[in-house]
Amino acid sequence: MRMPSFRLVPILCAALLGAATSAFAQSGAPVPGPVLPTPERPQPTMPQMPVPQPPALGADSWVLMDYTTGQVIAHHNEHERLAPASLTKMMTAYVVDAALASGKVHWNGSVYISDHAWDKGGAKTDGSTSFLKLHDRYPLSEVYNGMIVQSGNDAAIALAEHVAGTEAAFVQLMNAYAQRLGMKGTHFENASGYPHPDHYTTAWDLALLARAIIHDYPQYYGVYKTQSYTINGIKQANRNLLLYRDPSVDGLKTGSTAEAGYCLVASAQRQSQRMIAVVMKTKSLADAASQDEALLNYGFRFYDTHLLYAAGKPLATPRLWKGVADTLPVGVAGNVEVTIPRGRYADLKAAMNLPATLIAPYRKGQAIGTVTVSLDGKPLLTAPLIALADAPEAGFFGRLYDSVRLWFQGSPATPAGGGKG
């Protein structure tokens, strides 16, 4: 095998050094980093319009959240810890949903009604009940409907025992999932919502939970819009009054005790937009429904949610040094969406934060920087920017060429033409 002449190496090095020196002499100073382009964004679809203050409500605590982005549009005492009453059953359902999705229990499985479920579930208390018969067995689907539609305490406890063996063990799962979902102001003591000094949550946390229920387990979410259900020949109606007067509402849950007052978590979808409204401690179910309805209407009328940047689409192709390629496409891993007042697209500002010098190698999906979107000088969101392709190192001479240029120029310069060996 014929070896290359080592006499070429000094010549090539000298040529590279000369080229770099020439470039430095022309600039007279280190070349500043390139100005990164602002990502494109959609144009306004409606003229700008003033946005009024949120409606004045009588609830002690409330939250209005956009489902897609998780942005809270309006709120009041949103982190105040309050008794959740039967809103607790939303977390009970979420834990059951997780067990169903993992195959640990089954939709048509047989659920036993124990003495504990029967006693604590309404038979010996004045709480809501699904009228399940002591020591009988029911399909899980029927008990689940009884818990959500009829708000049966007996159904909630029976499901807890079916999933975890005991209600106490199930409560540990409830609190673990609450921590995982970021429900920092929440602690559960039981599966039904029975009053207890250490059993509490917040409107903010309930909005997080409602969003997780809809997003994580959509296959079971349809139960929440069921208007009535019959068990053992007894028909009971869903207490969510919005299900009967607003066809866009498809969930979620009511709750009421002397301590909690009347509470409602509701969600509605109109066209492609979904909102979640939570009101806690109102004077009646009718008040809770009216106040949730006012929040939902406010959100849909005055706010829009829009896709700004699509996952995997290049937002910039900054200069890459010491790589096979001269540039590196960067973008976002997931869709970046934002909820803003209607007509404010033109006022959005986007800025990228990337290193001044990108040096290979990079792997696809590796975090590179961030993109921040602001409105009126206030950041709305910050999303990570990632490499959209693998960027391997160049060969020895390619790395040498860029090393010399970087040494002389001190900062990125105009990309060199051609690939590297």
Res 50: pLDDT: 81
Q: Which of 250, 275, 303 is the last residue of a domain?
A: 303
**Which residues, including other chains, have CB under 8 Å from residue 359's CB and lie 6 or more apart?**
320, 321, 322, 323
Q: How many domains does the chain have?
A: 2
* 274/137 same-domain check: yes
- Domain membership of residue 418 (yes or no) is no
Handedness of CA 177, 183, 187, 191 (dihedral sign): negative
SS3 401: helix
* 393/250 same-domain check: no
Looking up residue 363, the CATH number of its domain turns out to be 2.60.410.10
> The domain containing residue 398 runs over which residues?
8-39+315-409
The active-site residue, picked from 114, 130, 151, 290, is 151
* 170/229 same-domain check: yes
- Domain membership of residue 361 (yes or no) is yes
* 34/77 same-domain check: no
* 86 is a catalytic site residue: yes
The active-site residue, picked from 61, 86, 130, 192, is 86
* 204/85 same-domain check: yes
CB 51 within 8 A of CB 341: yes
- Domain membership of residue 308 (yes or no) is no
- Domain membership of residue 53 (yes or no) is no
The active-site residue, picked from 61, 89, 120, 267, is 89
Looking up residue 210, the CATH number of its domain turns out to be 3.40.710.10
Nearest to 374 by CA among 315, 288, 308: 308
* 235/384 same-domain check: no
SS3 269: strand
Nearest to 206 by CA among 99, 101, 303, 79: 79
* 239/344 same-domain check: no
* 348/254 same-domain check: no
* 192/238 same-domain check: yes
* 151 is a catalytic site residue: yes
- Domain membership of residue 51 (yes or no) is no
* 376/247 same-domain check: no
Residues 63, 64, 65, CA angle at the centre, nearest 5°? 115
**Which residues, including other chains, have CB under 8 Å from residue 120's CB and lie 6 or more apart?**
153, 154, 157, 192, 194
Q: How far apart are CA 224 and CA 228, in angstroms?
A: 10
Q: Which of 251, 277, 303 is the last residue of a domain?
A: 303
* 80/32 same-domain check: no
Res 48: pLDDT: 61
* 420 is a catalytic site residue: no
- Domain membership of residue 209 (yes or no) is yes
* 295/373 same-domain check: no
- Domain membership of residue 365 (yes or no) is yes
| Residue pLDDT tens, the chain, 421 long | 444 444 434 434 444 334 443 443 333 334 344 444 566 555 555 556 688 999 999 999 999 999 999 999 999 999 999 999 999 999 999 999 999 999 999 999 999 999 999 988 765 566 789 999 999 999 999 999 999 999 999 999 999 999 999 999 999 999 999 999 999 999 999 999 999 999 999 999 999 999 999 999 999 999 999 999 988 888 989 999 999 999 999 999 999 999 999 999 999 999 999 999 999 999 999 999 999 999 999 999 999 998 999 999 999 999 998 989 999 999 999 999 999 999 888 899 999 999 989 999 999 999 999 999 999 999 999 999 999 999 998 888 777 776 778 787 764 443 333 334 3
- Domain membership of residue 55 (yes or no) is no
Q: Which of 247, 273, 303 is the last residue of a domain?
A: 303
